[in-house]
Chains A and B, each alone.
Chain A
Amino acid sequence: MLELVGAHLQTESQAEFDHQFAPGQITVVLGANQSGKTNLCRLVAGQNSRARGQVLLDGIDLKTVDPRKRPVSMVYQAFVNYPNLTVAQNIASPLLARRGQGMMDKKTVAARVDELAHKLQIHSLLSRLPHELSGGQQQRLAIARALAKQAPVLLLDEPLVNLDFKLREALEIELRELLRETNTIVIYTSSDPRDAFTLGDEVLLLAAGEKLQAGAPLDVYLRPQSLAAMQLMADPGVNKFERDSRICALRPEHLRTVTDTGIDMTFDMQVSAFETNGSESFVHGEVEGAQWVMRCDGMLRISPGQHLKIGASASDVVQF
C-alpha cells in the first residue's frame, strides 16, 4: 500500500489531499497539462520538484530512504535509455547495479533479460543500440528496463504520448496484461480519458494540483461529482447547456441524430466541422451559443454551415 498524506503538488494552489494506491492495481492519474501529474510522480520517486507531502510505503516514510535506493522505478514521456548500451545491456542495467550487492548471478540476469524482452516483443533486437530502434521499440525497451528492477512501485509518466496512434493502441493493450501480472503498485499518468478505461483499475482526477475525484473508471464516468471531473473523463470534451438556471452537461457519445430511438430532448446544431476515422465520427458545431461536439459510430461526413437536429436521452444528462 502506497499512501500520500497531505500531498501539495503546485505552488499556485492551496490544495492538499490524501490518496491510497493499492498493490496489484493500476491507478490512472488523469489531468490536463500543468495539473500536477508529473509533480506527483516526482514526489513519489523522491526527485526534486515543487511538490510537498508525505509518502508512505507500507507505513514506512520514504523520506528516510536514500533516493537512489527508493523502491520505485519510472518510465518517462521521452524515450530514456542508455544510448551506448545494447538493448540487452539496457534491460540488464538495473539488475547489474544490484549484483554488486551480491543478489544476482550472470545466468539469472540473462534469463530475466530474455523473459522481459520476450514479453515486450523486443527479443529480436537484443544486440541493437537504442538509436537503431523505432520510437515504439525504444519505449518498449524503457518499459522493460523499468520492469526489470521489480520495484514495488512503478511510475509511468505519459509513456505513450509520443507514439503514433496505431502503435499506441497496440502497446496500451499489452501494457495492461503486463502490469496486472505482478503485484506492483502502478501509477500511470495521462490526459486521455481512454487510458483510464483501457488501463485503469482506478482513476484519480487531478486539476490544478487538486484531487477532484477518485474511484473505478466507470463509476467516475457515470457519477462525476463536478463539471470539471466530467470534463476530464469526456473525449474530447463535455457539452454544456442551461435548463431552469441549472448547469447541465452531455457527453459527446450521448448525442445522436434525431432518427435514432430513445430520444427525449432535441437541440439545433450549426455544424462547423467534422472528423472521422471510419469507425466513428466527431461533429463539431454551435448549440445555444456554445461549442459542442457529438461522437457517433460509423462514418458521418456533413458539410459545415448545415443545421443538424440532434437529440439525447434525458437520462444521460448530468446536472450540477
Chain B
Amino acid sequence: MAAVDLQQIGFTYPGATEATLSDLNLSVADGEAHALLGASGAGKTTLLNLLSGILHPTNGQLHFNGEDVSQLSGRARNVAQVFQFPVLYESLNVSENLAFPLRNSGFARQVIDERVTYICDELELGQLLEQKPRALSLFQKQLVAVGKALARPDVSLVLLDEPLTAVEPKIKWQLRQTLRRVQADLQVTMIYVTHDQTEALTFADRVSILAAGGILQTDTPEVVYQSPQHEFVGHFVGSPGMNFVAADALSVSTAQRIGFRPEWAQLSNAGQLSGTLQRVRIEGAQQGQPAGLMVLDTAHGEVVVRGQLPDVQDRLIGSQLQVQVLRGVAFTNEQQVGSHEFV
C-alpha cells in the first residue's frame, strides 16, 4: 500500500507539439479510494499509463510513499490493474489465475494458498475456483480479474480502468459495491479512471476532475457536486449539469456568471428569471402529479429546472413561466468566487 504523489507532472508524446498533460499535481492518501473523472480526450488514458509505468513523465516526479518511482516499470512499482474488459489467463483456472502473480513474486506455497483462500472469501468466488474463465459470465470474470489485481499482499496501488464497461447495466452496482467493500477491508490505495460520473461519485472517497490535461478540482463527491471550483466541473458533473446565467440577471455584481443546479431552482410566481417552456422530460410522478425536467428558453439562455410539472396538458409547452433560483455558485473567468443564497 502506498501514498501516491504526482508533482508537476507533464507529458508530451514523442513527435507531438502540444503537451497532453502539463503541471499536474495530485496526492492520493494511503488506502484511499480515488476517482479520476474526465471526458474522452482529457488525458485520462495518458495519466493512467503514467501511473502504471507504461509511460514515463516528460517533466515532474511521481512518488510512492515519498520514493521517486517516475522511471521505474509498473512491475517494479508493484502496481496492479483492472482493465475495461476481463483480462485473465484463459488456459488457467480461477485459483491458478489468482495464484499467478503470487507465484511470480516468489511467495512460499503456503502463503500463496492462504492468500488465494482469503481473496476468494473476500470476493465470494468459492464455487468458481476450479472453473476455467470461459465457463464464467462477464461479471464473474471481471470479479476474478479484480481478485487477481488484489492477490499480492505487497501491491502498492490498484488501477481501475472503467472496470464496469463490459458488465450489464442492471448489475453494475453489485460489482461496484464489491469493489468498495474490498477496498475498505483491505485498505488498498485505488485509483478509478472513468468518464462516468455515477461510477466516480459512487466509488470514491475523493474525486479529481480532469480536463484539457490538467486537474480542475479534487474534493469529496459532495463538495465537487455542491461547490464546483470551475464552470466545467459544474457542467460535467450532475445529470443534467449546472445552469449558467449572467450574474446581473440574479442581481449579483461581484461575479460574471452564476451557476445553479436544476434542483436549486423552482417554478414560482415571483421568480428572477422568466422564459418559455421548450420541452419537458417526465421522470415519474408524485401523488399522481408528473415530475421531471423542464427546459425553459430565457433571455439568458436555456435553463433546466427539476420538479413537479404544473400541468400535463400539451399546451403547457410554449407557456410563459418564472423560475426562482434559490441558491447558486458564483464564477468569474470560469473560476469559482463564492456562493449565494437568494431566499
Asked if A and B form a direct contact in the complex, defined as CB atoms under 8 angstroms apart, the reply is yes
Give me the interface of A with B, judged by CB distance under 8 Å: 164-166, 169, 173, 176-177, 194, 197-198, 217-218, 221-222, 236-237, 251, 253-254, 262, 272-280, 282, 284, 297-299, 301, 304, 313, 315-316
Cβ of B211 within 8 Å of any chain A Cβ, yes or no, is no
Are B176 and A173 in contact, with the CB atoms below 8 A?
A: no
Are B197 and A251 in contact, with the CB atoms below 8 A?
A: no
Q: How far is the CB of A311 from chain B (nearest CB, A)?
A: 13
Are B285 and A221 in contact, with the CB atoms below 8 A?
A: yes
Q: How many residues on B have C-beta within 8 angstroms of the other chain's C-beta atoms? A: 40
Cβ of B127 within 8 Å of any chain A Cβ, yes or no, is no
Neighbouring B residues of A272 by C-beta, 8 Å: 177
Cβ of B221 within 8 Å of any chain A Cβ, yes or no, is yes
Please indicate which of the listed interface residues A165, A273, A277, A284 has the most CB atoms of chain B within 10 Å of its own CB. Answer: A277
Are B170 and A236 in contact, with the CB atoms below 8 A?
A: yes
Q: Could you tell me the distance between the alpha carbons of A262 and B287 in the complex, rounded to whole angstroms?
A: 10
Q: Could you tell me the distance between the alpha carbons of A254 and B279 in the complex, rounded to whole angstroms?
A: 24
Q: Could you tell me the distance between the alpha carbons of A169 and B236 in the complex, rounded to whole angstroms?
A: 13
Q: How far is the CB of B279 from chain A (nearest CB, A)?
A: 6
4 A-B pairs besides A279-B238, A299-B221 with CB distance below 8 A are A169-B239, A262-B287, A279-B240, A279-B261
Q: Could you tell me the distance between the alpha carbons of A317 and B176 in the complex, rounded to whole angstroms?
A: 30
Interface residues of B, dominant DSSP: mixed
Cβ of B106 within 8 Å of any chain A Cβ, yes or no, is no
Are A253 and B197 in contact, with the CB atoms below 8 A?
A: no
- Closest chain B residue to A256, Cβ basis: B286
Q: Could you tell me the distance between the alpha carbons of A280 and B239 in the complex, rounded to whole angstroms?
A: 8
Interface residues of A, dominant DSSP: mixed
- With contacts A253-B284, A315-B288, A316-B287 taken as known, whether A278 is within 8 angstroms of B201 at the C-beta atoms is yes
- Closest chain A residue to B292, Cβ basis: A197
Contact flags (1/0) for B199-241 with A, using CB distance below 8 Å? Answer: 0011000000000000000000110111000000000011110
Q: Could you tell me the distance between the alpha carbons of A176 and B324 in the complex, rounded to whole angstroms?
A: 28
Are B176 and A297 in contact, with the CB atoms below 8 A?
A: no
Q: Could you tell me the distance between the alpha carbons of A274 and B239 in the complex, rounded to whole angstroms?
A: 17
Q: How far is the CB of B287 from chain A (nearest CB, A)?
A: 6
Q: How far is the CB of B66 from chain A (nearest CB, A)?
A: 31
| Interchain Cβ contacts under 8 Å between A and B, 26 examples | A173-B281, A173-B295, A176-B279, A194-B283, A197-B282, A236-B170, A237-B170, A254-B286, A273-B176, A274-B202, A275-B173, A276-B198, A277-B198, A277-B238, A278-B201, A278-B224, A279-B238, A279-B240, A279-B262, A282-B173, A298-B263, A301-B202, A301-B222, A304-B177, A316-B286, A316-B287
Cβ of B196 within 8 Å of any chain A Cβ, yes or no, is yes
Q: Could you tell me the distance between the alpha carbons of A217 and B290 in the complex, rounded to whole angstroms?
A: 11
- With contacts A197-B292, A218-B312 taken as known, whether A297 is within 8 angstroms of B173 at the C-beta atoms is no
- Closest chain A residue to B172, Cβ basis: A275
Q: Could you tell me the distance between the alpha carbons of A254 and B181 in the complex, rounded to whole angstroms?
A: 28
Are A169 and B221 in contact, with the CB atoms below 8 A?
A: no
Neighbouring A residues of B238 by C-beta, 8 Å: 277-279
Are A284 and B239 in contact, with the CB atoms below 8 A?
A: no
Neighbouring B residues of A253 by C-beta, 8 Å: 283-284, 286
- Closest chain B residue to A199, Cβ basis: B281
The 8 Å CB contact of B181, one of A166, A194, A236, A304, is A304
